[in-house]
Copies of this chain bind each other. A is one copy, B any other.
Amino acid sequence: MPASPSHAPAATIEMPEEPTHALRFGKARTAQASAVLEDYVELIADLIAVHGEARATEVAKRLGVSHPTAVKSVARLKREGLATSRPYRGIFLTDAGRQLADRVRARHRLVVDMLVAVGVPAEAAESDAEGMEHHASEATLKAFARFLADRGTKT
């Protein structure tokens, strides 16, 4: 492979050595940190919409985790101002929580639709989207929406 930076000619000017790559990884880590929060608020909003309430046990069951794990994550939601709850009662979303849930739900659908549109089987699309959705930036979502719209009118 080509001449390397560390063995580079002494005379070259100091270059930042591409912090770009590091920034990308950093973004992925940041996105990942919100992934759990996002899945919880989306699910809680769904449960409230369908059942009128969201109980810790039900959340745990749907996510496939133990109930203490769900409780601990809900504690984080509360800390971050996304949810509220009081002993032996259900879990509720704050305004911020509801807003986030709406964005997350729309994004989820968009990612799934996109995957299906390019030929991914439905179940794989749903499964993969559950992880991929948290890494789709605004620019990417915009592109997805446009792609789907064009495809729709083009039929």
Contact = CB atoms under 8 A, between A and B. Distances in A.
A146 to B, nearest CB: 6
A115 interface: yes
Main secondary structure of the interface of A (DSSP, over half): helix
Nearest to A126: B24
A147 to B, nearest CB: 4
Contacts of A137: 124, 127-128
Contact of A140 (B19, B50, B120, B134): B120
Contacts of A22: 61-64
A64 B21 CA distance: 8
The 8 closest A-B CB pairs, nearest first, are A131-B135, A22-B64, A28-B131, A124-B139, A119-B143, A120-B143, A132-B132, A28-B130
